[in-house]
Structure 1
């Protein structure tokens, strides 16, 4: 996606350790808490964040005694980092992001998390491609979105707000991955994804959508007994953990496999051409 939506003069990335790039050069951003302050402000997407909101986001309910001094220190540090990476155009104006106090809060302007924006664009394009029947193209777009990840979201930064965002983005990433695998299964590529799905089920044993995909992949590769066993194992895990039965989607798939529904083996070897 190149520079689409890129911050003015500087690129910011959060799909992994926070980093700022001026061209090919990485900009030093200071100690972890200072980087956490910057990451929190980046996620406001230009909206002011009050002093109290910033303290709560970075330190939570029990901030240190001298937190006001720390906020001032880290805000000044972020500004120095921007200044050290600044460029000057022909008019003598320094370009790049700015961190200002608006009277109601701290506002980070001319700065976005570029990789988050690019990922959203790619995923939206993949959804549109899938809805128009272009499954292979949708998978390619999702692969490009996945390639933007360099590690955990805001990896290594300890702040309550970022911890919550990390969980949210982990869920979003897994949901997109499941959609990509579902498309590949529809295209008849079940065999290639069985082992990846076994690994995902082991990592997320109570996630029913992943179990459903594994059952489909096994069934379509002639391993119907293994598919039914995967259901039984998931049913036991869910019962042990929550005292409940699997949800309706997983139960319905199990019932269709028991009666050998021929539709379960249907694949799409080519995508329909969307209407103009």
Structure 2
């Protein structure tokens, strides 16, 4: 099989040929490529591409810019090296611009790792699941398509930030079930500082603190979260966080794992 370009979007967009980064042109040209990569082999109309990259106020000469950037990407693919016939192909199909022979390789590999993590979890191999989830997290080099402008990519960036946090929360919860309370406390403190209104992270931090023998610190974490939520949102914490707070207050024995209860 011919070796082609490797594309990555779990951070700034980059294309690699035999480990060497390929120049992809100006930021808007790179944004065009990122948008087309995310179509995963589906054609994209000219109008949709313009909306995705420039929004509802494109420049007057936008058609010339699109043609310029498409030509620039074709040149970049052709001069990147690699085996003959392995380069991506970007063409107009009559119904839209179509990019073929190109995958978002780091995203595909991340999905495979998470699929294996889920299979390991469902098979009772919790430690293997955590290890695989950590490998998937380590693939991130920054924000999704970091630094590229345009409404489509900004929306994708928000969507992937949420997906990334959900995976992180699931992995940390699994680590807590494995008894890694002290290690999780340190990581959760950092994550709550980075995402102070993320109630699931506060919930996990409170549980990690309580299970590591720091009930007072768990209650303090709740009070700090309640203050932040009141100041920023004008509301109270959600029912899950309030329920955990009440259980910590009454020292609910069910909050402790069985190994702690019988020791």
TM-score, normalised via structure 2 length? 0.93
Task: Choose the corresponding residue for 1:189, options 169, 180, 202.
Answer: 180
Residue 149 of structure 1 and its aligned partner are, at CA, apart by: 1.2
SS at 2:91 equivalent: strand
Q: 4+ residue stretches of structure 1 with deviation over 6 A?
A: none
Distance 1:7 1:174 in 2: 36
Aligned in 2, Cα 1:234/1:87: closer, same or farther, shift over 3 Å?
Answer: closer
Give CA deviations for 1:124-153 in whole Å, capped at 9, x if unaligned: 221222233221111111111112111221
Give CA deviations for 1:193-247 in whole Å, capped at 9, x if unaligned: 2122112112211111000010011101111011011112212222232232222
The residue number in structure 1 matching 2:109 is 118
Does 2:31 match 1:36? yes
Give CA deviations for 1:161-220 in whole Å, capped at 9, x if unaligned: 111111111111111111111111111111012122112112211111000010011101
Residue 87 of structure 1 and its aligned partner are, at CA, apart by: 4.5
| Residues 66-81 of structure 1: pairs in structure 2 closer than 5 A | 66-81=61-76
Which moved further from structure 2: 95-104 or 231-240? Answer: 231-240
Q: Is the 8 A contact 1:98 1:110 kept in 2?
A: yes
What runs of 5+ residues in structure 2 fail to find an aligned partner? none
Task: Choose the corresponding residue for 1:233, options 224, 228, 238.
Answer: 224
The residue number in structure 2 matching 1:56 is 51
Distance 1:88 1:191 in 2: 50
Aligned in 2, Cα 1:227/1:22: closer, same or farther, shift over 3 Å?
Answer: same
Residue 249 of structure 1 and its aligned partner are, at CA, apart by: 1.3
Distance 1:181 1:164 in 2: 26
Q: Is the 8 A contact 2:91 2:97 kept in 1?
A: yes
Task: Choose the corresponding residue for 1:152, options 139, 143, 158.
Answer: 143
What runs of 5+ residues in structure 1 fail to find an aligned partner? 1-5, 270-276
Distance 1:162 1:186 in 2: 36
TM-score, normalised via structure 1 length? 0.89
The residue number in structure 2 matching 1:202 is 193
Aligned in 2, Cα 1:88/1:219: closer, same or farther, shift over 3 Å?
Answer: closer
Distance 1:104 1:183 in 2: 47
Residue 267 of structure 1 and its aligned partner are, at CA, apart by: 6.0
Does 2:251 match 1:256? no
Task: Choose the corresponding residue for 1:177, options 157, 165, 168.
Answer: 168
Aligned in 2, Cα 1:7/1:231: closer, same or farther, shift over 3 Å?
Answer: farther
Relative to its length, the structure with more helix (as a share) is 2
